[in-house]
Structure 1
Amino acid sequence: MKIEANTQSINLMNKMELMKLQAGNEIAGNPLGTHQAVSFNQTMKMMISDVNQQQLKANGMMSAVDSGRSDDLVGAMVMAKKAQLSFSVLMQVRNKLMTGFDNIMRIPL
């Protein structure tokens, strides 16, 4: 479980780094070195999907503990906290995007 959680956090960090590089340097292409370009839209969809999967896994683990099928309360609590943190990061990204959009809309023509 610890390896899987580390892999998920590494994947999330890689996606965030990709978004950072794409936002900072439009002509950088694909910083991962693969031949397929990744758009911001695709990156956001992947992040939302990952956060959703973390939420579902945390809910499943909590349900298993509640019903007595599992005794890994600590693992369930850690997974729930990770899902909460991932969702919080996603909301912060959304808030930054909305602030940027509002600023663009306020530019006089």
Structure 2
Amino acid sequence: MTTITHLTGGASLLSMQQEMNRMKTLADAPVLPSTTQALASHASETSFQEVMHAALNHIDRIQQAADAKQNAVDSGQSDDLVGAMLASQEAALSFSALVQVRNKVTSGINDLMSMSV
């Protein structure tokens, strides 16, 4: 008897090998669909332009709402100073995030343009 058979028994050695083969098959199988398949299925649904347009419209609505709240407080129609300040900060953060996205996109385009073919 070999050492492994002696320690594990004959039947359990076969089950161990089967379990190892099953684990190898699971490890070799893709966890998620490939990136190109996922991109191809989503590419027909939404374009980058649509996403950016929606983000710009959303940020514009946030800024308009903040401006309306601030004007209401300034004119005395509302006493919700805290709400106006929070809306103003939300608008400022949203715009700052938009500028950062623009800078990253511009940087990425510049990197692509500087690559040699």
Q: Tell me, yes or no, whether TM beats 0.5.
A: yes
Larger radius of gyration: 2
Q: In the alignment, what sits opposite 1:27? A: 37
TM-score (norm 1): 0.69
Q: In the alignment, what sits opposite 1:51? A: 59
Q: 2:77 aligns with which of 48, 69, 80?
A: 69
Question: Any runs of at least 4 consecutive aligned residues in structure 1 with deviations exceeding 3 A, and if so which?
Answer: none
Q: CA deviation at 1:107?
A: 1.1
- The aligned amino acid for 1:91 is V
Q: Distance in 2 between matches of 1:60 and 1:49?
A: 16
Q: Distance in 2 between matches of 1:108 and 1:74?
A: 53
RMSD across aligned C-alpha pairs, in angstroms?
1.4
Q: In the alignment, what sits opposite 2:21? A: none
Q: Distance in 2 between matches of 1:99 and 1:52?
A: 24
Q: Distance in 1 between matches of 2:93 and 2:37?
A: 31
Runs of 5+ consecutive residues of structure 2 not aligned to the other structure = 1-34
Residue 92 of structure 2 is aligned to residue 84 of structure 1: yes
Q: CA deviation at 1:39?
A: 1.0
- The aligned amino acid for 1:77 is M
Moved more, 36-45 or 46-55: 36-45
Runs of 5+ consecutive residues of structure 1 not aligned to the other structure = 1-24, 31-35
